[in-house]
Each structure stands twice: as structure tokens, then as C-alpha cells.
Chain A
Amino acid sequence: MKKRIALALAVVLLVASMFAFAGCGKKPAANSDIEYVKEKGTLVVGITDFAPMDYQDKDGNWIGFDADMAAAFASSLGVEVQFTEIDWDNKVLELNNKSIDCVWNGMTLTDEVTAAMDCSKAYCRNAQSVVVNAKVADKYTTEEACKELNFAVEKGSAGKEQAEASGFKFTEVDTQAKALLEVKSGNCDAAIIDKLMAGAMIGEGTDYADLVTTVDLNAEEYGVGFRKGSDLAKEINTFFDSVKTTGVDVEIATTYGVQAALIK
């Protein structure tokens, strides 16, 4: 009995390991990412739930400025668009793993981002803003005054880079949402988050009604990220130029109230 099971187990393990190594011999299908995407017929866009760039309507469809633009880009390539939610920390892993084809989610073009991905040119403006409790907001209207605060910032984010550049004392947390939770709970005095995002996340009608933005610490720009060496990064710039001439970008931006931030 045991011997037969032992034998069966040995066979299963052998087959499993052969299956695992079978992948080794496979070369990437095509050198051109455009060809690769066209061949499989879908452009997989890695996103997070991030109004007003990518978020779901009541029926669960992905909408937003980035989502609509991504759909337009996919149809310009003649492929279907597919949105998939990712863990933001793992975006480069996801790209290299080919589980997504691009990151299109209000991504700030930092040095770290452009080093790890091939990015489009900037299409939208943003800023990193200081968020504090409304009660003390009057005291912290300059960058200098904010130096005495304890900050919470998202790990690996543009906000964290800004905190370092401004010489703030800070703690790193999971997400920008958690950074707000730190301020709300009083564990930290202030957070640094994207200005476009802050508009939707704090103030009237949220659990963060008592939080406000005070200082804009910088000016920064959003871009779309692709795998290193991907020819889609060039293709998207052509796409951006073409929508500028037709005015489609302004039209979509107006729908989601971000037209002021759009780079003409």
C-alpha cells in the first residue's frame, strides 16, 4: 500500500518538475511589445481604484480620465482593453511578469519610476500637498512651518520623496489612504498625498471631514508606464499627439473635471 503510494507520489513529483522546467526553454514570443499585444488581442491595464482617474461606476465598469483614455488607446491599436486591479507596490513586477501591459493610473513621473519603466511623456499636472487637521491648518501654511510636524507618507511614493527633499520627519505606511488614517487617528500630525486624489478623499461627506490640504510642496506630472524596452512607450506619444489635434483628451478630461490639470 505505502509502496504504491510512494511510487505514485514520485511520479507526480517528477511530472510536476518537468512541467515547471518546460517553461525554461520558451523564448519571449516577440521582441515588439506592440506585436505581442496585438497577437493576444487585449491591452491589460494595471490600475488601482483612484477617482477621478480610474474608478468603477455603479455597474462595475471602469471609468475615469485614465480609464477612458486607455480604452481609446487600445482601440487605436485595434485591441480590447482589460482593466485589472493591482497592488501598487508590485507594478514593476506585474509589468515584467506580463500579467499587465501598462500602468495607467495617475502615476507620478519620479526618477524611480522612469528608471524602472519606459514611460510616456507627461499628460497631466499634479502636486504633492500637505494634509493636516482643520483645527491647526492656520499654523501650517508654509513649508517651513510644517518642519515641526510628524508626517505619514505612502512608501515608495512621490510624497515620500518630497518629504525627504523638504527635510520632514516622516513614517512610511502602506498607502496614501493609510497615511490619512494616521492623521485622523492622531498617530501622525500630517500626511503628504496627491492633490488630485485629496480632492476626492478628504473633506465634506467623508470620514476625513476634519482634514484639509494646506501647502503644495511641488509641481509634478503624470505619465503612463510600460515594460523596459517596450515600443508601446513610443506608440503612446503618437497617440497623445493625435488626440490633441482632435480634442478628444479635453473632452474626456472635462467629463471628469480634470481639464485644468491637463498638459496641452
Chain B
Amino acid sequence: MTRKMEIDGVEVAFSEGETVLEVAQRHEKEIPTLCYDPRLEPFGGCRLCIVELEGARNPVASCTTKATPGMVIRTTTDTIEAYRETLLEMVVGENREVDVSPLRGYAAGELADLRDKYDVSSTGITGAKSGTNKTDDNPFILRDYELCISCYRCVRVCAEQEGDHAINVMNRGFHTQITTEFDGLLKDSACTFCGQCIQTCPTGALADKKALRAVDAVGDAIPDKTRTICPYCGVGCSIDVLTKDERIIGIHPAMDGPANQGALCVKGQFAYDFVHHPDRLKTPLIRGEDGELHEASWEDALDKAAEGFRKVNAKHGRHSIYGVASGRAPSEAAYLMQKFIRVGFGTNYIDNCSRA
């Protein structure tokens, strides 16, 4: 049986268990949200996603309201938009700043985008600022709680997505403060520095310190993004590499990555800069008469590499040469390594590094 409801005067189908917000988004209705992350259980905290439900006395939060047959919903009435504007004014007025670097995190610009969309002035409602920054000497996660709007996305992503339960809430109401157990440092908590809190935060209150350190070098411009796969374990998480001026300056998890669906770990999130380390080999090296390795041209190095295999082959035969392929280079390298051994020497003297 198809289930039907009405959204903005149009009859639409929905499936059992869908929320009003999910149905509306599927039909390309633009409903503003701040506490919503599609990967997490609905929370209903920010109230921006309110809609009019026919028959209900007050607007309802569309993220926590399940769709039911015959429901009549209006997503964008003048009243609803006015409510949203007021809510946004209050949220914006509580914060030290709204325009933050896009390097702070994947969702860091959400509040600024909504402020612009609703043309909310930051001086509309001025009052006390909420949230107290926490000094934390960790190199990865900035805890700039003056920008916190108590949407609890960090608390929930840590619990629901990561299962780490490292982030908590202290106090209530205006004095609500995001913190960790015993209000200590992240490294003394259950935090694994996966960076998920940074990436879901809609205001940049929790921010990527490592990426922000690159701001001095590259300015505040929006970085380029390249979709690729994390270089570490075999899970194969999809990531977007942020680059500026030929430097990698940060990593965003790919929310639609088939293996990770937005999740990452500390290595994939933060351990990318080995690529630019000064230790990187930049030229070929050849061992000289003195027994030391010396820089060489590609032509000389390739000559020497080939010459060695030719000599050993001539002297000891084709079963004296062995190839080891990498588990971290792309498949093309492994394929050609086995082809090199099989075509070049007619043997199966080839392996990769999976046995140890």
C-alpha cells in the first residue's frame, strides 16, 4: 500500500518510518536545519525545521515528526519563515562570530549560509554571549565554544556514529556547555581524535586546528577538493583532499563514501602531511664506488637498475631475480610488477607484502 501525504499542496508518497523532513527533502523542499545530520538520529533541538501541520495548534519540528497518511504540511508560510528568522537572530546574536574559515570543518559554514539566506543581521538581537572556550593543547581539535549553539551534533556523532561517547554536556539552558568527562582535555577522555565532531559542527566551534594552521600559508580562500581513498588501512574510506597552491591542507570525509559514509579515523583525518615531508625522495639515488648513495639522473639510475638485473640474469639465471609489489601503491604498479617478472624472466618469482 502506498502511503500518501500532502506537502505544500502536492500529494506525495512516503515510506513507513520516514520523517516529514526526509520526505520534504526528497521532494526538494528547502527546509533550514542546524542540529540535523542525516547520519544521526533526529534531535529536534534547533527548531529551524519547523513546518505547519494542519490540525496542530503549533508548528512541529519536521525532523522528529514521522510522516503519516493524510498529513497536510506547509513548509514555507510567512509565519514559519518569521519564526525561523527570529530563531536565527537569537542564535547568531549569541555567538562571537558567524563568518568562519571553511577550513574549520566540513559543515562549518552552515550557520553563516542560513544567516545570509534569511538576511539576519548579527546585531538584531544583542545580548550575553554563550559558551566558554576550552584551552586544550591537542594538535588537532580546536574547542572554540564561544561559537557553540548547543545543537549537540558533536555529542551525538561521537556517541551514535563513532560509539566513543567522549563528548558530553554540562549545565543547562543558556549555560549549556559542551565538554568531556570531568571537563578535562580531550586526550584524557575517550576521544580517539577521529575528527567527526569537527566535521559535523555547523558553526566551526569545534574546528580542525591542523587545517587552520595552514591558513597562514594559503590564506582564507576556499580550497580545491579532490575525491580519493584514504592511504591507510584496507577499509577504503572515501575522502576529499583539500588543497591550495599544490599543498594538501586538510581532509574532509566523503559523506557519500560507500565504505565509510562520512566516518574517518585519526589517521585518515589528520595523518596526510607525510606527503610534503622534507624527507621525501626527490631524485634517484645510486650507490657509488664509495659505498654511499648519491643523487643521480633518472637515465643513469634506470641504466644502473636495468644493468644489474641483466647481469644477475646472465650470471645466475632467471630464477635468481625476485619482485615484491606494494600493498600501498595502486593496482597498476602491482600489475606491472608481476608483468615485469613474468614477461621479463618467465618465472612466477613475485609476491606482495601481505605475508608479513
Pair from one complex: no
